[in-house]
Structure 1
């Protein structure tokens, strides 16, 4: 159970495409397609579709098939079976909120890149021992925010994070200014009320603002 150099390099390339990784939840494939188009046109080319609804896999599959130019990840993976289902649906990468042994094994052995979640130094060290160089930091706000991640730069210089949870337009740049942050994840760029209302213009405007943020 380890993270190969080839998949790590692929994940690095994916995470470097946009400063913000939209974290999205959909109830219909149509909403997923239109949201993905709005985000792409606003400059956000990498998306995470959470596996939190019965329609999530259909939504992911629809975006993969119908929206050109975007890289689509499957998030909130809690079971190994979800890992396989996401791969079958066409996911480009995998994301989990934590690092349970079963999901960690399935994700690290998958043929596509995997971004596991951590919230403590011990979890981060365990990933580093397996060769991981990227981790989702979740829930970023409650777990310590930018100050926590800054404190990890010296002891874990080779590990980079994607803080998610409590990240929004008001604090995203404070994370992105850190040398160990690859990008940030958040749902503020595609609010649920905007998705439900079909307000693609609002989502596109929020995406454009987010795409203008700069990672260090």
Structure 2
């Protein structure tokens, strides 16, 4: 079997899966003909990975929320996929996060040390305040922000991937996330891709990935 390893820059408002579960649910309660008319007439169909990646039988390693952007890894290598998503085998994920207001040193330290979210405490993280706005494409639609409230960008590296974790972390210290872009998974970086683009890993990237 030939294994494939792909990097994809997921745009905002795209589901990190190859089928729209909402559409599937509708199909169960409506005829296919009716569903086709709904999608064609009211534009309710949601974009998925299938709209961007024509490679068959590859699956995402982990997920990005619909309202998040950035790097995704896809593969048909099941053993590797399991190892990278199993919480026992922590691997680094790095995000650029735009938040409301400018976090002080205490808020940054809380994020680094771990914060309590519902019934669990996050693992220690690496967090730093970026001195300048990172070079990321404009988002469509743009974020909603309050003109009287400043924003800041953080670089956050975590080793776990709980549901909406980074957003919940920043909210827990009083700085709601406005925009979230994943820029790295372990040694794999987003550079060189624009939203909606994908590519195969280079031989060097693949070799490092298989050593994880």
What is the TM-score when the length of structure 2 is the normalising length? 0.28
Larger Rg: 2
* Higher helix proportion (structure 1 or 2): 1
* Higher strand proportion (structure 1 or 2): 2
Higher relative contact order (CA 8 A, sep 6+): 2
